[in-house]
Amino acid sequence: MATLSVNNPTLLDLAKVTDPDGQIAAVVEILNETNEVLDEMSWMEGNLPTGHRTTQRTGIPAPTWRKLYGGVAPNKSTTVQVTDNTGMLEAYAEVDKALADLNGNTAAFRLQEDKPHIEGMNQEIVDTLFYGDEATEPEAFTGLAPRFANLTADENSDNVINGSGSGSDNASIWLVVWGPNTVHGIIPKGSTAGLKVTDMGAVTLEDASDGSNTGRMQAYRTHYRWDAGLSVRDWRYVVRIANIDKSNLSQVFTSGTFSSGAHLTDLMFQALRLIPNINAGRPSWYMSRDIASWVARQSAAMGNANVVTMDNLSGDMRHTERFHGIPMRRCDSLSADEAALT
C-alpha cells in the first residue's frame, strides 16, 4: 500500500493511498467538481470495522501551590470514550444493453448514466453530513446539526450562536476547522476511501411491467457504494450560527446596525473568536447560496466590502470567496427551513 504523505488528508489524498490503481481517485475528482465541502474536509481511517472510537478529554488536572513541608495530592485528567458509526450508502444503475450499444460507444453512454448517480450519492453524503441523525435513521451516520442543536442545555451550546430568528424558516452558517484532532470524516477500518463504482457487466433482468415477471431483458448494471461517517473529536472547532431568518434580513445599515434581522458579519466575527486555534486545521465557512449573497451585500452596505474577497490562490480556474481570509463554501444541502433552536 502507498504511504500517506500529508498529515491532514482530503478524500482525494486518502483515495490515492487506499486505491492505488486510481479508479476511485478519478471518481473523487468528479465529486470535487460538484461538492465544495470535499475541498477542505479531512478524512481518516477509523479504528473499528464499523466506525471510529476516540477518547475525548473532559477535565484537566489542577496543580497545587505547595508550601514547605506541605504535601500535594495526586490527581489526574478525566476522559470519555465516544464511538462514531459509519453508514453504507449504496445504489444500482441499470440500462438496457441494446440502448447502450446503439451508438457504438457503450462506455461513453454508461459514463453519462454514471454521472447523475454519482451526483445523487454526493448530495446524500453532504445532506447527512449536516442533518443525518442516527436516532431517526439508524442506517445513516450522525451529522453536525443534531450535535449542535441547543442554545443553552449542552456543553457545546457555547459554540451555538443565536441569530434571533423564530419559527421554522431559519438558516444556519457553519464554521468548521477540519483536521485529524478536530473534526474529520471517517471510513471503516481496512476499507477504501470514497465512492466505489463497480461495473457488474451484462445481467439478465426480469421485466415486471406486466406484473407477471415472465419477461427477460439484457442490461448493464453498475453498483455504487460509499462507506462514510463523521467524527467530532473536539467540539470547540465547530461553530453554528443558527436561527437566521432569511426573510427578515436587511441591507439598510444605520447607527451601527441593520434595520431588521441578523447582522451576519458581526455574528461571523463572533464565531471566529470562539475557535481556540484557527490554525489547528483547515477552516471553512458553509452556507447556502442565499445566505452567502446576504453576507456580501451586508458587507457592502456597511462600506466594508473588503471583508469578503475573491481569489484563485489554488492556481486553477476556480475562484474562491473568503470571509476574513477563510473560504466561504456554498452548500446547497443547507436548508432555509430549519426550526428555531431554543
Q: Could you tell me if residue 265 is inside a domain? A: yes
Residue ranges of the chain with pLDDT lower than 50? 1-5, 32
**In 3D, which of 196, 193, 182, 159 has the Cα closest to residue 271?**
159
pLDDT in the model for residue 13: 63
pLDDT in the model for residue 76: 85
Q: Could you tell me if residue 312 is inside a domain? A: yes
pLDDT in the model for residue 3: 43
pLDDT in the model for residue 139: 93
| Total structural domains within the chain | 1
pLDDT in the model for residue 138: 92
pLDDT in tens, 142-180: 999 999 999 987 888 999 999 988 888 899 999 999 999
Distance CA 243, CA 169 (A): 9
Domain that holds residue 132: 11-56+83-330
Q: What is the DSSP letter of 272?
A: H
Q: What are phi and psi of 114, to 5 degrees?
A: -65, -40
Q: What is the DSSP letter of 48?
A: B
Residues 6+ apart with CB under 8 A from 186: 43, 44, 45, 46, 51, 52, 84, 86, 228, 229, 230, 231
pLDDT in the model for residue 148: 95
Question: Taking CA 235 as the corner, what is the angle to CA 79 and CA 338, rounded to the nearest 5 degrees?
Answer: 140
pLDDT in the model for residue 96: 87
Q: Could you tell me if residue 341 is inside a domain? A: no
pLDDT in tens, 258-290: 778 788 999 999 999 999 999 999 999 999 989
Q: Could you tell me if residue 213 is inside a domain? A: yes
Q: Could you tell me if residue 68 is inside a domain? A: no
Distance CA 210, CA 243 (A): 51
Q: Could you tell me if residue 66 is inside a domain? A: no
Considering Cα of 143, then 18, then 51, then 179, what sign does the dihedral take?
negative
Q: Could you tell me if residue 283 is inside a domain? A: yes
Q: Could you tell me if residue 91 is inside a domain? A: yes
Q: What is the DSSP letter of 256?
A: T
Distance CA 143, CA 82 (A): 15
Residue keyed to cell 472547532: 237
Amino acid identity of 9?
Answer: P
